[in-house]
Amino acid sequence: MSRSRRFLLGSGRSRLCAVVVVLVPTAPVIALSNKALLAASAIPAPVCQPRVVDGVIPSWAQAGFHPPDRRMPYEIGAQGHIAALLWAYPLLAPPPTTHNNKILWVSEVSTSGAPLIISAQRMMGSDPIGQPARRTVAGGPGPSIINLPGAGCWRLELRWSGHHDTLDLDYLRNPG
C-alpha cells in the first residue's frame, strides 16, 4: 500500500485514536452541562419586592374608567398578563374597619370566566414564612376584597383561564 493511501485510510491504531480524540473533548462538555443544570435548579427565589406604581393605569386595563388617564396605585404581574388595581392603598392586615382591601384584577389576556385562584405566601426576603393563604375570585379577574392573615410582603401566584402570573404585595400592620 502506498504511503499516501495508508495516511488517508489510517491504521487501526490511528482510527482508534481519532475516535478517542472526538469522544474525550465532548465528555467535559456533557459534565459542564449537568453542572449548569444543577446550579440553575439551586437558584434561590427572588426577594419579595412589591412594584406598586402610583400613576396612570395601563391602557389595556382602563376599560370603564373615566377619565381614561385616571391615576391610582397598581401593580403589573411579572409576566405582564394581569394588573392589580389597588382601590385601598396601603393594604392593611388585619383588615381595617373603615374600608376594604379592594383589588380590581384586570387581565390583559383572554379569560373564560374561570375563577382567579390566588395562592399567597408571606415572604421574608426570598424565604417563605408560614403557610400559604388561598383565595378565589369567582368569575375570574375582576373586583375582589383580598384580606391576608398578617402584615408583610406577600408573593401572589395567580391562575385563571389557563394563564399564570405572579406579583408581590405589601400588607402593612393595621395600627387601629
Amino acid (1-letter code) at residue 56? V
- Average pLDDT over the chain, rounded to whole? 83
Q: Specify the pTM.
A: 0.74
If 0-12 CB within 10 Å is exposed, 13-18 middle and 19+ buried, where does residue 146 land? buried
Q: Which conformational region is residue 140 in: left (phi greater than 0), alpha (psi within -120 to 50 degrees), or beta? A: left
The closest of 171, 81, 165, 153 to 118, measured between CA atoms, is 165
Residue 30 has pLDDT above 50, yes or no: no
At which residue does the C-alpha cell 399564570 appear?
164
Residue 32 has pLDDT above 60, yes or no: no
If 0-12 CB within 10 Å is exposed, 13-18 middle and 19+ buried, where does residue 101 land? buried
DSSP code at position 174:
P
CATH of domain 53-173: 2.60.40
Task: Please provide the DSSP assignment of 16-54 as one string.
Answer: HHHHHHHHHHHHHHHHHHHHHHHHHHTPPPPPP----EE
Residue ranges of the domains in the chain? 3-41, 53-173
pLDDT band at 70 (very low <50, low <70, confident <90, very high): confident
List the single range of 60-69, 70-79, 95-104, 135-144 with lowest mean pLDDT: 60-69
- The answer to whether the beta carbons of residues 173 and 93 sit under 8 Å apart is yes
